[in-house]
Amino acid sequence: MVKKIFIITGEVSGDILASKIINYLDLKTIEVKGIVGSNLKEMGIEGPFENKDITFFGIIDVIKNIFYIKKRIDQTVKYVETFQPDIVFSIDSPDFVFQVIKKIKQRKKINSKFFHFVAPSIWAWREGRAKKIKNLIDKIYLLFKFEKKYFDKYGIKNQYVGHPFFENFINSKLNLNSESKLISFCPGSRKKEIDTFMPIFIDVIKNYKNKFNYHFAITKETESLVKKYLKNINNVKYFININENLKEKYLKKSLITVAKSGTISLDLCKNQIPYITIYRLSWMNYFIIKPFVKAKYINIINIIADKEIIPELIQSDCNSKMIISKLDYFFDNNDKLKALVENYNLVLKDLSNKNSSKQVADDLVYNLN
C-alpha cells in the first residue's frame, strides 16, 4: 500500500530545506503532495497552490490579507482531507502551519501524524506558544542544540538534527577578496522585502557609483520587481542572479555582502563570506512585536554567541547612510573582514552535523510504517 505525505512550506527557504529531505524518500512507494515552491515543483510535487501565495512580511501585511489567508487555510485543510496523508510534514511558517493543523484536528476527518521542521523561535519571542504547539504536533525537528531545553521544558517531543546547510561542514578556505570590486546584495525573497530594501541598496550604489560592480542574489519570483527598481540605474555595472549555483560563485567573489536577515545568513557563513546583516519592519509592525521580543540580536550567529559578531543594522539604523558607514569601515580596515569571518567560524564548529536531511527523512519513513 502506498504511503502518503503532505508537505507545507510557507516560503523559499522552507522549500529548499524540504527538497533536501525529499531527495532521500522513495517517491515510487511514497506519494508526496503539498504547498510547495520551485524546488519541490521541479521534483514533480504538486498541491492546491504554491507557497508564494501565502508569503507575507510583517504583522500588518498579514492583517491586511487576513481573509485571503483564512481562505487559503480552508483550501489547504480540505485538500489534506481529500488526500488523506499518513503524515503532514510542515517546514517553518508556524503561524500559517499551526492554524491549518488546528483546523484539521478540530474537524477530525483524517488520522494523520504531524511532524514539524524548523522550530518556532520561542526562545526569542512569544514563548507561550509552546503550550499550544504541544497539542498540535507529534514531533518537532530542531536546527540548533540550544533550542532543545525550551521544548523539553514544555514536554514537546523533539529531536535535534542540525541545520541542513551544515551537513558534514568543515571550515573551508576563507573567501576574502580584498582586491575585489564586487559588492553583493541579498534583499530577501518576499515582494515586501524587495520594496523595503531595494531603495536603500540603490542609494548605496549611487554613493559608490562605478567604484564597484554590484551583484543582486535574488529569487525567480522577485526578478521582475528587482529589474523595475534598477531600470534607471545608469553608468554602473550590475547583474541580477537567480541561479543558486551562480549566486554562490559570485557571493564568494565579493568583497562584502549586505544581506537581509534570514536563511541567507547561514549560507554566507557556510561559504566563509564576510557580510552585514540588515532588517527593517514598518514602524507599526515593529511597535506591535517589540514588547514580545526577548532576543538581543536577530542574526542566529550572534544569538548563539550571545554577542555581535556579524554587524547588525536594524530598524532606524537600516538606512543607506549607516550601511555606507559600515562598508567604509571595512574598506578602510581589510583585516577586520578576516577577523569577522574567523570569529563566526568559532560558532560554526558547533553547527556541523551528520546529514540532518537524511535523519529527518529516515524518521518520517519510520513513522510511516
Task: Work out the burial of residue 335: count CB atoms within 10 Å of its CB; fewer than 13 is exposed, 13-18 middle, 19 or more buried.
Answer: exposed
Cα-Cα-Cα-Cα dihedral sign, residues 234, 238, 239, 244: negative
Distances (CA, A) of 255 to 123, 329, 368: 34, 13, 47
Q: What is the pairing mode between strands 275-279 and 213-217? A: unpaired
Position 26 scores a pLDDT of: 93
Position 40 scores a pLDDT of: 93
Of the candidates 109, 99, 52, the one whose C-alpha atom is nearest the C-alpha of residue 76 is 99
The amino acid sitting at 360 is V
User: Taking the model in full, what pTM does it have?
Assistant: 0.75
Residue range 206-230, pLDDT digits in tens: 999 999 999 999 988 899 999 999 9
Position 136 scores a pLDDT of: 94
Sheet holding 158-160, edge to edge: 30-35, 3-9, 87-91, 113-117, 139-142, 158-160
3-class SS at 119?
A: coil
Position 285 scores a pLDDT of: 59
Position 232 scores a pLDDT of: 85
Of the candidates 329, 183, 323, 338, the one whose C-alpha atom is nearest the C-alpha of residue 254 is 183
The residues, any chain, with a CB within 8 Å of residue 222's CB and separated by 6 or more, are 187, 188, 189, 190, 191, 194
3-class SS at 257?
A: strand
Position 57 scores a pLDDT of: 66
Which residues of the chain carry a pLDDT beneath 70? Answer: 57-58, 122-128, 170-175, 282-295
Q: What is the pairing mode between strands 256-260 and 158-160? A: unpaired
Q: Which three cell numbers stand for residue 142?
A: 530542531
Of the candidates 150, 78, 156, the one whose C-alpha atom is nearest the C-alpha of residue 115 is 156
Position 38 scores a pLDDT of: 87
Position 121 scores a pLDDT of: 73
| Structural domains in the chain plus CATH codes | 3-166+353-368 (3.40.50.2000), 182-348 (3.40.50.2000)
Where would I find the H helices in 271-309? 283-289, 300-305
Residue range 303-336, pLDDT digits in tens: 888 889 999 999 889 999 999 999 999 999 888 9
